[in-house]
Amino acid sequence: MYVLIDIGNTRVKMGLLDTDSHSRLPLTLACPHTDLSPIATWLTQHLSSPATGAIGVNVASEALAAQVQALLHAHHVPSIQWQTGDTPCQTLLNQYQQPERLGSDRWVSAIGLQPHAPHSAFLHVSFGTATTVDAIVPHAGGHEFKGGLILPGPQLMQLALSQNTARLDAIPGALQDFPDHTTAAISSGIAAAQAGAVMRQWLITLEAAGHAPLLFCSGGGRSLVEAELEQTLHRLHHVTTLSLPEPVWYDTPTLDGLAILANRLA
């Protein structure tokens, strides 16, 4: 059994890989940085036999990673093998100018999503604390990671407005085509900015790949942007002959990528 660890900007996610069947178990834990206590309970419940390894990514602090490692050690889990943006992958070429500076979660998520697009370009959009919009295109023997956008995530945009303006609140409002009150104007503006970034990169990736890329999405900001993204694509259907994608949502692409890497280590 391998323990899979994804330390994000606000939450820690964990999963398990059965090294006998080479498949991820349908068990996922997510807890905030401020309360890691569920980890011990989860490990006690689901580690029926001692873990043979642990693999993870960390985009938060080293101190938090040390706390997670200590909790795992208490359950006799081996030291975590931390992955980085330049972790080698035979089927994915990293085109980042400085591969080691690429966020490990972005890199490992792309590895996790590759099996869903064996011969196609795809975008991975993660609506988290930050929103990332990454382009992955076919390359000899697999894919290449071209690069992508980073922008404040939906909740961070909302928080920035509430903290840096005198009269704009962080209360979510309805999405409207022509917002006629402030809360709707904020929510609609944030959702439009997020969807606009996605469509920009989708069109650029279409030009680079020569075919319509698939669109894979993930992240905790889903509820704030999903409707706007789908409406934008629906409207474009009426004004273009392009083969527009249907967004496909995945809960844990980073853990899926870690499972693939763990299978190569086990």
Catalytic residue among 6, 105, 134, 256: 105
What's the CA gap between 252 and 233, in Å, rounded? Answer: 24
DSSP 79: P
Contacts of 195 (CB under 8 A, 6+ apart): 225, 228, 229, 232
Burial class (CB in 10 A: 0-12, 13-18, 19+), 182: middle
Q: Is 105 a catalytic residue?
A: yes
DSSP 196: H
Phi, psi of 161 (to 5 degrees): -65, -40
Token pair in block for residue 237: 């259907």
Active site residues: 105
